[in-house]
Chains A and B, each alone.
Chain A
């Protein structure tokens, strides 16, 4: 059974950093890309960024709203994806989900999601 469990959320002051983890099980982690998607309170889904599988270079891409502040990495040996968030702003307050990404015909979609972890940026 595929499982994704996020951790590391909490209350953080503006300008500070936080690292989220997504621990995967039930599949060969290194064969898949992984995304982070967030949802601000009462708002819709916003794609944050993703990391490609090693077969596709292990490279990353990000939404414009977080580029230069957030970094995604992964440890295939531990089946964990990370989201390092620096220079946090109040508008980064959201539930952060990780997802497993499937690549088919040049498009990625998200077939499994974790339950999310809440990040609150406030002084």
Chain B
């Protein structure tokens, strides 16, 4: 089965840039989606198909995907961006999530 690897945590100072990676075998050949989940809340889609933002998601959120790594980038990080972030792909007719990355803004 296909596996996605994310770092457990990422810390960033307010106003700086956070980069969250998602590793997978030739993940660049797949479409990667990203979700934000704040404590006690349902996940929210922030990036779909590698680099597309749903309506209502700030331009500060961007994504890229190449080789064996996909990356979610949060520029000008805000305290309100503190959350868990999950990458997701579709592989062999099943959904696959990464283990999640806790982003701390301090």
Residues B18-48 near A (CB distance < 8 A): 30-31, 33, 35, 37, 41-45, 48
Identify the closest chain B residue to A63 (Cβ).
B94
Known A-B contacts A105-B31, A107-B30, A107-B31; the reply to A113 vs B100 at CB < 8 A is: no
Cβ-based interface call for A29 (8 A): no
- Are B42 and A45 in contact, CB atoms less than 8 angstroms apart? no
Q: List 26 A-B contacts (CB under 8 A).
A: A37-B97, A44-B86, A44-B97, A44-B99, A45-B37, A46-B97, A47-B94, A47-B96, A47-B97, A61-B93, A62-B94, A63-B95, A102-B48, A105-B31, A106-B90, A107-B33, A109-B33, A109-B48, A109-B88, A110-B33, A110-B35, A110-B45, A110-B95, A113-B43, A113-B44, A115-B41
- The interface of chain A, by Cβ under 8 A from chain B, is 35, 37, 44-47, 50, 61-64, 97, 102, 104-111, 113-116
